[in-house]
Structures are given as structure tokens and as C-alpha cells.
């Protein structure tokens, strides 16, 4: 099994077998990454361009490290500050880049669907590193790997995703992935941060955090963006923390062995209590970061295999 | 333990008026018409055959604390309420500053408890500073005792912000009280547009501005599923629309102010600023439609919309004068005009004055039934008097009923079974 498509644009179109093949391969990269010599040559000679139209530290670093550990030539383009500012359209940027003959492009963009648009215009493989409020597939994959390692399985779990669902691509990719694998998904947050029609996604929706995480195996907290804190979507930080901030007292409603996740970066004292985030008995937030590199290595590896196979097949047909 | 004996009991729940008595124990109604009343050694209050009704629950009273205590304080408003048979004042947050955070609410509640002889519940602002930009801490304000949320006459213009406020309120099961009015059309208006306003040259607003505002609010309530109460309906247009919306099963309710039920635009007469209220007084046809809607029950609540203004704020040219009228003490006598005219029965009047507002806000007051708080008003509906505004207990005396003949006197008011007005208070 492998990734069937040329690109990794979202979880929506992926089959469970593809997801498992990524997670299984990622396991081996977890082992590699824990070695002193963290190097493989599966991407040797290949060029990977990280194109981030939106500021990112963590995801970009994770993809950069993943590519470098696999031996690719990795280039970071901080597009937010360059050509876009000069008025170039997304498609022109894509064509320019395509002419430089990269093999893998990792893209983050503030508009939903922008990565799909770019993927149509280039010859290489495209990895979606987050587009608008649409999808963030590698985050969902790394979350899945973290859950599987902590819980021993990735099905029949009760998973509460809490906070700003409306603006979250992490939430959407996680709902899709965890839903495909037969988990019970609950969404918890104020109605103002809950998209209309979300209950048709096969999830349960809760206004109340305690009820929403009741007997949950996994509690996944989402980041509340600063610009949403003061009155527009929720009245204030203190009311949000009072009602939706996860602390040890509220976590008692979840299962005794429930794990706490957060995609980062955290707002301590907004969506999560600082002490709880640091509690290594409950919080797997640092594990998520570690799994992130391994999952991204697996994704890049599998997409590169597709590229090599395509080259072989093209050569064979030429003979 | 006391007995209020020999009374005509006005019961809005069973829609009846019957002679009887009420036994009060520990501030609550212990029983009605016990079998051997005479033989028991209760302290007896002889009601003298007068009418005993559940105390009035008045939604939307403005007490000018904090900010303008010279216009009205919790003490003066509480005394006025007691004299008017109002046993629960549900106060507005359009103070200076607005009651828009739990700290202010707690401060105000503490003052209210110390100063007022009647119950006080507080409506908190829906948006910070009532400016329509950021929602208030609805959850924390509820914890501090807010019973509803409203920006009063300041309409949240941005529909997106208003719909988010409704969504947030919905999840907290909070009641949002709106002021149905199109803010653009009604800006600067002090009368209803038409022949009278044009003749007098008063800047005026179409009655459709209320309908436009109401339609917007009701549609957003439908969108979000929130509980919405329109503070005042005043035109037949909005009543018709509202009745259709309510029949469609939306969680909407509406109120009427005593002034729109008893006065019309011609009362403004020669630029009399005590008749300047918000929304402006309407035509006689609109007034009749409103009375009918209250009688039928589609408009559920009658309130005083008590708004104290000092002499300086009213002694100005009509369009510059402040809006609003005091009404705590005149609410019941004025409402009894509707009874004397044969438009509304006494039980239906107290359904709108006491029972429905209690139900709307989840209070157990407003009824004469076992276990309910012993809040009553004892009144003589027939006793006539000429109102002298300087006899009012409010610090401000801006009443449109000054010098008018009213019929119906409040004799006693009880809160928790204790007299707070009349002999024995």
C-alpha cells in the first residue's frame, strides 16, 4: 500500500489503507529520529520547496527537518514577504517555481482551496501544509499517530475536539480522518465558533465543555486566535477560559486515562491551563511535535516513491 | 403567619376573580381559602373586599444608578415601585456607565438590595458600552445574576455582530431583549411621521421603521434559535408580522409600554415634551391594535418603560428634549383604563403585568398559587383621583398623566408577605 494520489491535498479523498500505510512507515521514522544518526537517502537528489504564504514556524521547521533527514535539497520560500507583495498571482508564482523543476512542494496558504489550485498548475507533487480553514492533513496524520501510540488503537475511541472549530483546518482534517476510522467524535465550543451545518458531519456538538468531554478517551484542544478573543466571537479571555479552558478540574469528566492534545502554539490560560499542558502524565503535546517530523518524512517518502515509479514507467513506455 | 382575608382575588392563571383569602407563611403562599380560617389564630389583614392580585413584575425599569442618581436612585425607584404595586423591578442597563460587566452588576445589585423595598433583578448590556461592537461576558454576567441581555434603545446595527450575540446567548439559554427599530430611519426622530408631525414640523419616523427592525431581529432569532423578546411593539404593522412569526414556532415574545397602550400621537398636542417617548406615540388605530394584541395575549407583557428625566432634560424644544416618562406609580392606574373601557379583563391585565413577565424570565412570582412568593398588590379599581406629579415618589416627575383623572388606587403592596406600601408598611 502507498499513497495513491500524486499529491497530499487533504484527508477527504484518502482511503483508510493509505492513512495506515503513512502511519506504519512513520513508525519506522520515529525509530530513525531517535537514533544518533538521523539520516536516510530516500530523497537524495530531489528538491523540496517549502512555500509558506502564511507565517509559520513550527510546521515549516518540521517539514524542513523531515526533508533534510531524508536527504533532499530543501529550500524555504517565505512568499508572504516577497512576490505576492509585488503583485504576482498565485498561479504565476506556481509556474515560476515549476520552471525550477522541484520534485516536492510543501504549501501553506491563507485561502481555502489555494493549494488545490496550485497543484493543478505544477508537475511535481504538492503537500498541503494548511490551506485557509479547509484542511491540514499532516497535522491530522500526526495526531492519529500520537493517539495510536498512546491508546494502542485508532478506532472506537471517543474524541472531543474543543474550541474554535469554525476557523480550524486542524479540526476539519481530524474530523475527516478520525471519522473514517470509526471513532466517536464530539465537537465542543461556543456556537459562535461552530460552523453552520457541522452536525451533518456525523459528529455530536456540545456547548458545555464538561458534558462534551465526559468519558472521552482523547481531549484535543484548539488554539483560539487572538483576534477572535475580544468580543467579536467570545466576550473575553476570562469568560472563554472560565467556560472552555481545559484545566485539571474539568478534565476529571473525561476518562481517567484520557490524553490531552494541542496542535500548538498554545495560549496558556486561554484554552488550556499551563500546568495541565506540562503534565506529562496527561499531555501528549510534545509527542505530537515529535510525531510531526516522522509523519512528514513518511509522506515525503511515499510521494517520492510515486514520482520514481512514474519516471520508471515513462522510461519503459519510451522503449 | 398571616391571612389576607376578605379579598377579591385576581388570579391570572385560572383567569378568575373570586372572593377569598390567602394564607402566607414564611414569605410564601401557604394556602388559599383554608377551611376554618376564623378559628385559627393568624394575624389577619382585612382586605375589605378590595382586589388582591399578584404583584407587578415590570421589565425594563430605568434606575439611574450608576451615573445619574439625581434623576432616580434605587431608594426612590423602590419606593415608587412599592407605591405602584410593582413588586419586582427588572432594571435596564442603559446607565452611565452601562451595566456591561460582572463587577458593575455586582456593585449595583448590592446597592439595590440595601436600598429598595421591592425585588430588583437586572438586565445586563448585550454589547460592551452598548456600542454594538463587542459582546459582553454573557456567561459571567449570568453567574452574577443578570436575568436578560439588552442594549435597550441602542440597536446593534451590525447584523453579523448581533447574530453572534444571539448565537452566544442561545448556548447560555439567555434571553435577549431587543428594541425593534431601524436605527437609520429613526435617527433624530421624535414623532411618528404623518399629518400631525408634518403640521407641527417635528422630525418624524415612519411606523415601518419598527417593522423593519422587528423583521431583522426576528429573522436573526430564527437563524440562531435564540430566545428573543421585543421590548415594545407599537404599530399594527409590527403586531401582524410578529403574530405570524410567533405562530411559526419561533422563540419570540413581545411587550407593550403602558404609554403606547393609553396615549396616542395627538396627546403631544402643543409640543408637550412629557409625551416624548421611544418609540414615539402612534396613531389611535395603532393604539387600538396594540390593546387588542395584549387582550388576545399575542403581545404578552405590559411594562412601564419607566425612564426618569429631570426638568432640565425636558424643559427644551420638543426635538431637543430627552425621551422617556416615569411610570412606576401610574402603571396600574393607567392600565386600569383598559379594564374600565371594557377592552381587557382584570385577570388578563395581570397576566400581562405579572404572570407573563415572570414566566419569560423564569421567576416563580406573578401567580397566586401555593408555594409562590407572597408578592401582592391590593387595589381599589374604582377609586378616582387626579394625578399630581409632584406627589410622585420618583426623583423625576416627568409623567404624561399629570393633572389627568385616573381611576384605581393602590392600597397596599406586599413583598414576601411583608407590607412595603400602605398602612402597616
| B208–chain A nearest CA distance, Å | 30
Can you list the pairs that B65-68 forms with residues at least 24 positions away whose Cβ atoms lie under 8 Å? B65/B95, B65/B108, B65/B111, B66/B95, B66/B96, B66/B97, B66/B104, B66/B107, B66/B108, B67/B95, B67/B96, B67/B97, B68/B95, B68/B96
Residue A223 sits at φ, ψ, to 5 deg, of -75, 135
Distance from CA of B166 to the nearest CA of A (A): 9
- Sorted by sequence, the CB contacts under 8 Å of residue A61 that are 6+ apart come out as none
Kind and range of the H or E element at B197?
A: helix B195-200
**B159 close to A (CB below 8 A):** no
Chain A residue closest in CA terms to B163: A192
Question: A48: how many CB neighbours lie within 10 A of its CB?
Answer: 26
Q: Is the dihedral of CA B230, B236, B238, B243 positive or negative?
A: positive
Burial pattern B373-386, b for ≥16 Cβ within 10 A else e, equals: bbbbbbbbbeeeee
Q: Do B168 and A207 touch (CB under 8 A)?
A: no
Residue pair A295/A3 in contact (Cβ under 8 Å)? The answer is no
Give the closest of B133, B140, B171 to A239, CB-based.
Answer: B140
d(CA B127, CA B178): 12
Asked if A192's CB is within 8 angstroms of B136's CB, the reply is no
> Does the beta-carbon distance from A231 to B133 stay under 8 Å?
yes
- Provide the 8-state DSSP code for B391: G
CA distances from B212 to A216, A226, B53, B174, B252 (A): 46, 35, 37, 24, 16
Which chain B residues are Cβ-neighbours of A232 within 8 angstroms? 134-135, 161, 164
CA dihedral (A242, A248, A249, A251) positive or negative: positive
Q: Do B170 and A191 touch (CB under 8 A)?
A: yes
Average pLDDT over residues A27-51: 95
**Residue A82 pLDDT > 80:** no
The string of pLDDT tens digits covering residues A112-151 is: 999 999 999 999 999 999 999 999 999 999 999 999 999 9
Does residue B299 sit at the A interface (CB-CB below 8 Å)? Answer: no
C-alpha cell of B66?
Answer: 450608576
Query: Which residue is listed with cell 499517530?
Result: A145
Cα separation of B192 and B200, whole Å? Answer: 11
3-state secondary structure chain A: CCCCCCCECCCCCCCHHHHHHHHHHHHHHHHHHHCCCCCCCCCCCCEEEEEECCCCCHHHHHHHHHHHHCCCEEEEECHHHCCCCCCCCHHHHHHHHHHCCCCEEEEEECCCCHHHHHHHHCCCEEEEEEECCCECHHHHHHHHHHHHHHHCCCCCCEEEEECCCCCCHHHHHHHHHHHHCCCEEEEECCHHHCCCCHHHHCCEEECCHHHHCCCCCEEEECCCCHHHCCCCCCCCHHHHHHHHCECHHHHCCCCCCCEEECCCCCCECCCECHHHHHCCCCECHHHHHHHHHHHHHHHHHHHHHHHHHHHHHHHHHHC
| pLDDT reported for residue A317 | 78
Q: Which residues of B touch A236 (CB under 8 A)?
A: 137
Nearest to A192 among B127, B133, B168 (CB): B168
Mean per-residue pLDDT for A50-79?
Answer: 93
Distance from CA of A237 to the nearest CA of B (A): 10
Tens digits of per-residue pLDDT, A235-251?
Answer: 999 999 999 999 999 99
Task: Mark yes or no for CB contact B168/A234 under 8 Å.
Answer: yes
pLDDT at site B34 = 62
Shortest CA distance from A231: residue in chain B: B134
Helix axes B236-247, B208-224, angle to 10 degrees: 20
Q: Is B167 on the interface with A (CB under 8 A)?
A: yes
Which residues in B lie closer than 8 A to residue A231 (C-beta atoms)?
Answer: 127-128, 133-135
How long is chain A?
A: 319
Q: List chain A residues with CB under 8 Å of B136.
A: 235
Instruction: Give dist(CA A86, CA A83) in Å, integer.
Output: 5
Q: Which of B133, B139, B164 sits opposite A192 (nearest CB)?
A: B164
| B135 and A CB contact within 8 Å | yes
How close, in Å, is residue B133 to chain A by CA atoms?
7
CB of A238 within 8 Å of a chain B CB? The answer is yes
Residue A81 binned pLDDT confidence (cut-offs 50, 70, 90) = low
Ranges under pLDDT 50 in chain B: none
Tell me whether the omega of the peptide bond preceding residue A319 falls within 30 degrees of 0, making it cis.
Answer: no
Contact A235 B224 (CB under 8 A): no
- pLDDT for B343 equals 97
Q: Does A211 touch chain B (CB under 8 A)?
A: no
| Spatial distance between the Cα atoms of B201 and B198, rounded to a whole number of angstroms | 5
The rounded percent of chain A whose pLDDT value lies above 90 is 82
Residue B54 has φ and ψ, to the nearest 5°, of -60, 140
Residue B136: which of A191, A233, A235 has the nearest Cβ?
A: A235
Please compute, for residue A199, the number of CA atoms within 13 A of its CA located in the half-sphere on the CB side: 7
DSSP B55: P
Say what percent of chain A tops pLDDT 70.
Answer: 96
pLDDT digits 0-9 by tens, B372-402? 999 999 999 999 999 999 999 999 999 999 9
Cell representation of residue A90: 498565485
Give the pTM.
0.91
With CB atoms and an 8 Å threshold, state whether B171 touches A239: no
For residues A126 and A302, the answer to whether their CB atoms sit within 8 Å is no
CB contact under 8 A, A235 and B167: no
For residue A205, what is the nearest residue in chain B, using CA coordinates? Answer: B171
What is the DSSP secondary structure assignment for residue B264, as one 8-state letter? -
Contacts of A238 in chain B (CB under 8 A): 137, 140
Residue of B nearest to A233 (CA): B164
Nearest to B325 by CA among B381, B392, B229, B238: B392
Q: Would the CB atoms of A239 and B137 count as touching at under 8 Å? A: yes
Is the CB of residue B224 less than 8 Å away from at least one CB of chain A? Answer: yes
ipTM value of the model? 0.83
Amino acid at each position: 500500500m502507498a499513497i495513491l494520489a500524486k499529491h497530499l491535498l487533504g484527508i477527504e479523498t484518502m482511503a483508510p489503507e493509505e492513512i495506515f500505510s503513512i502511519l506504519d512507515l512513520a513508525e519506522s521514522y520515529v525509530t530513525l529520529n531517535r537514533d544518533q544518526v538521523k539520516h536516510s537517502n530516500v530523497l537524495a537528489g530531489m528538491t523540496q520547496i517549502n512555500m509558506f504564504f502564511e507565517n509559520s514556524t513550527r510546521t515549516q521547521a518540521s517539514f524542513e527537518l523531515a526533508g533534510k533527514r531524508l536527504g533532499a535539497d530543501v529550500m524555504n520560500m517565505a512568499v508572504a514577504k516577497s512576490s505576492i507583495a509585488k503583485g504576482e498571482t498565485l498561479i504565476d508564482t506556481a509556474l515560476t517555481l515549476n520552471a525550477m523543476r522541484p520534485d516536492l512542494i510543501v504549501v501553506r496558504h491563507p485561502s481555502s482551496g489555494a493549494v488545490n489550485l496550485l497543484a493543478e498548475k505544477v508537475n511535481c507533487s504538492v503537500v498541503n501544509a494548511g490551506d485557509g480553514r479547509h484542511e491540514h492533513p499532516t497535522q491530522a496524520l500526526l495526531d492519529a499517530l500520537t493517539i495510536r501510540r498512546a491508546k494502542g488503537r485508532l478506532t472506537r475511541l471517543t474524541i472531543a475536539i474543543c474550541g474554535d472549530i469554525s476557523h480550524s483546518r486542524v479540526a476539519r482534517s481530524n474530523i475527516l480522518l478520525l471519522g473514517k476510522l470509526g471513532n466517536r467524535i464530539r465537537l465542543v465550543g461556543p456556537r459562535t465558533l461552530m460552523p453552520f451545518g457541522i452536525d451533518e458531519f456525523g459528529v455530536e456538538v456540545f456547548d458545555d465543555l464538561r458534558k462534551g468531554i465526559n468519558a472521552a478517551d482523547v481531549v484535543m484542544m484548539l488554539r483560539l486566535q487572538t483576534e477572535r478573543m475580544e468580543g467579536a466571537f467570545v466576550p473575553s479571555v476570562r469568560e472563554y477560559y472560565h467556560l472552555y479552558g481545559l484545566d485539571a478540574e474539568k478534565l476529571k469528566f473525561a476518562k481517567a486515562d484520557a490524553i490531552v492534545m494541542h496542535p500548538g502554539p498554545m495560549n496558556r490560560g486561554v484554552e488550556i491551563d499551563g500546568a495541565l499542558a506540562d503534565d506529562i502524565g496527561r499531555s501528549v503535546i510534545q509527542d505530537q511535535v515529535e510525531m510531526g517530523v516522522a509523519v512528514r518524512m513518511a509522506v515525503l517518502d511515499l510521494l517520492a516513491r510515486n514520482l520514481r515509479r512514474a519516471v520508471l514507467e515513462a522510461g519503459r513506455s519510451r522503449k | 403567619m398571616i391571612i389576607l382575608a376578605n379579598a377579591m382575588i385576581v388570579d391570572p392563571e385560572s383567569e378568575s376573580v373570586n372572593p377569598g383569602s390567602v394564607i402566607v407563611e414564611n414569605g410564601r403562599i401557604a394556602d388559599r381559602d383554608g377551611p376554618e380560617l376564623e378559628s385559627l389564630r393568624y394575624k389577619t389583614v382585612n382586605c375589605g373586599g378590595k382586589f388582591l392580585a399578584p404583584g407587578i413584575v415590570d421589565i425594563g425599569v430605568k434606575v439611574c444608578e450608576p451615573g445619574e442618581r439625581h434623576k432616580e436612585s434605587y431608594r426612590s425607584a423602590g419606593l415608587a415601585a412599592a407605591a405602584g404595586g410593582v413588586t419586582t423591578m427588572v432594571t435596564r442597563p442603559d446607565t452611565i456607565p452601562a451595566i456591561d460587566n460582572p463587577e458593575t452588576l455586582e456593585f449595583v445589585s448590592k446597592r439595590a438590595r440595601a436600598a429598595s423595598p421591592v425585588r430588583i433583578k437586572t438586565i445586563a448590556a448585550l454589547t460592551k458600552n452598548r456600542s454594538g461592537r463587542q459582546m459582553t461576558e454573557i456567561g459571567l454576567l449570568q453567574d452574577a445574576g443578570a436575568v436578560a441581555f439588552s442594549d435597550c434603545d441602542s440597536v446593534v446595527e451590525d447584523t453579523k455582530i448581533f447574530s453572534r450575540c444571539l448565537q452566544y446567548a442561545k448556548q447560555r439559554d439567555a434571553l435577549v431583549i431587543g428594541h425593534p427599530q431601524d436605527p437609520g430611519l429613526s435617527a433624530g426622530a421624535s414623532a411618528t411621521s404623518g399629518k400631525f408631525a408634518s403640521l407641527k414640523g417635528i422630525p418624524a419616523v415612519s411606523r415601518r421603521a419598527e417593522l423593519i427592525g422587528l423583521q431583522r431581529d426576528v429573522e436573526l432569532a430564527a437563524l440562531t434559535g435564540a430566545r428573543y423578546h421585543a421590548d415594545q411593539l407599537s404599530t399594527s404593522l409590527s403586531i401582524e408580522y410578529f403574530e405570524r412569526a410567533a405562530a411559526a414556532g419561533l422563540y419570540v415574545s413581545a411587550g407593550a409600554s403602558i404609554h403606547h397602550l393609553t396615549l396616542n400621537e395627538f396627546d403631544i398636542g402643543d409640543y408637550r415634551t412629557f409625551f416624548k417617548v421611544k418609540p414615539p406615540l402612534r396613531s389611535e388605530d395603532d393604539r387600538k391594535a396594540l390593546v387588542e394584541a395584549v387582550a388576545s395575549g399575542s403581545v404578552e407583557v405590559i411594562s412601564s418603560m419607566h425612564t426618569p428625566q429631570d426638568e432640565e432634560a425636558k424643559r427644551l424644544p420638543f426635538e431637543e428634549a430627552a425621551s422617556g416618562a416615569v411610570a412606576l406609580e401610574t402603571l396600574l392606574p393607567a392600565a386600569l383604563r383598559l379594564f374600565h373601557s371594557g377592552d381587557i379583563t382584570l385577570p388578563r391585565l395581570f397576566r400581562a403585568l405579572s404572570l407573563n413577565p415572570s414566566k419569560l424570565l423564569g421567576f416563580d412570582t406573578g401567580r397566586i398559587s401555593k408555594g409562590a412568593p407572597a408578592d401582592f398588590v391590593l387595589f381599589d379599581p374604582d377609586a378616582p383621583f387626579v394625578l399630581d406629579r409632584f406627589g410622585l415618589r420618583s426623583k423625576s416627575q416627568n409623567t404624561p398623566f399629570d393633572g389627568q383623572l385616573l381611576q384605581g388606587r393602590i392600597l397596599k403592596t406586599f413583598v414576601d408577605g411583608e407590607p412595603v406600601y400602605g398602612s402597616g408598611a
